[in-house]
Amino acid sequence: MRLIRSILTSLVFGLPGIGLAHEFWLEPDEYQSKAGSEMAVRAYNGQDFKGTELSWFDRRIDRVSVILNREGRKYNGLPGDLPAISVTLNEGLTVISYASTMSKLTYESWEKTLNFASSKGVEDFERAHAARGLPRDGVTEGYWRFAKTLLAGGSGAGTDGETGLPTEFVMLTNPYTTRGDSLHVRLLYKGAPRPGAQVELWEKAGRSVTRRLYRTDDEGHATLDVRPGHSYQIDAVVLREPESQAAIEAGVMWESLWANMTFAVPE
């Protein structure tokens, strides 16, 4: 697990982010609260931990699950709910997982297509695109969002685990009960470890956000540097030839699957 690049300059909300694509993430009003508390969990689309809040929209959501002690239940929101999700925290570690339906986009230029692939650590994209005989103009993509957030009720004791998302992070170190300056995470794709993948991390302290890059090892593991009192977002993208029925039927050139996770490290 090696840190491949660190961007040391803090980004203040309101300034343009450095990302070339918009992330989707879940963010609670508080990551840790007493058991029995009602907690709003907001859905965002944006960059650098700043974005547009999204309401519950049935057509864009495949499934949301609330998981406590590795036991999950389906969450059903109502159209227009804002915040999109609201839960009562029980004692322990609560994991909320989110799976979207597929959306489609068309890139404005070949340069923006290449910038996206490069920013997400996709190697040899230009060669792969040419090998398939695809045009450079009007590149289309179908994309899926798979997000998780970790919430602590009381002590927050418990463990994260696989939720069955096509790609997902599994936190191997509970951030709410473990003291230290690092956390261990595993990235999965189709239920198996995903080696050599770029992992983007955003660290938020107040209104300051810093971005760093990591890469998973042969077992899909990455070790993340963390600090008490800060909140975190991690993201990794699979860019592949269309495989899902939805992508094939839509006739898109490429298909992307986004894994995202948010959590905090208490003081």
pLDDT tens string 148-181: 999 999 999 999 999 999 999 999 999 999 999 9
pLDDT for 69: 83
Asked if residues 44 and 233 have their Cβ atoms less than 8 Å apart, the reply is no
Share of the chain residues as helix, strand and coil, in percent rounded to the nearest 5:
10, 50, 40
Burial (Cβ within 10 Å: 0-12, 13-18, ≥19) of residue 249: exposed
**pLDDT for res 21:** 61
Q: What is the pLDDT of residue 70?
A: 83
CB 201 within 8 A of CB 214: yes
Reported confidence tier of residue 9, pLDDT bands at 50, 70, 90: very low
Measured distance CA(175)–CA(115) in Å, rounded: 33
pLDDT above 70: percentage of residues in the chain = 92
The length of the chain is 267
**Rama region for 77: left / alpha / beta (φ>0; ψ in -120 to 50; rest):** beta
Q: What gap in Å lies between CA 115 and CA 1, rounded to an integer?
A: 25
Peptide bond into 83 cis (omega under 30): yes
Counting other chains too, the contacts that 130-134 makes at CB distance below 8 Å and 24 or more residues apart are: 132/241, 132/253, 134/253
Q: What is the pLDDT of residues 36-82, one digit of tens each?
A: 999 999 999 999 999 999 999 999 999 999 999 888 999 999 999 99
Q: Structure tokens of 8?
A: 């040391």
C-alpha to C-alpha distance for 95 and 264, rounded to whole angstroms: 13
Count of CA atoms in the C-beta half-sphere (13 A) of 227 = 9
Give the residue with greater pLDDT, 16 vs 243: 243
β partners of residue 65:
74, 97
Taking the whole predicted model, whether its pTM rises above 0.85 is answered as: yes
AA letter at 192: A
If pLDDT is split at 50, 70 and 90, which confidence band does 14 have? Answer: very low
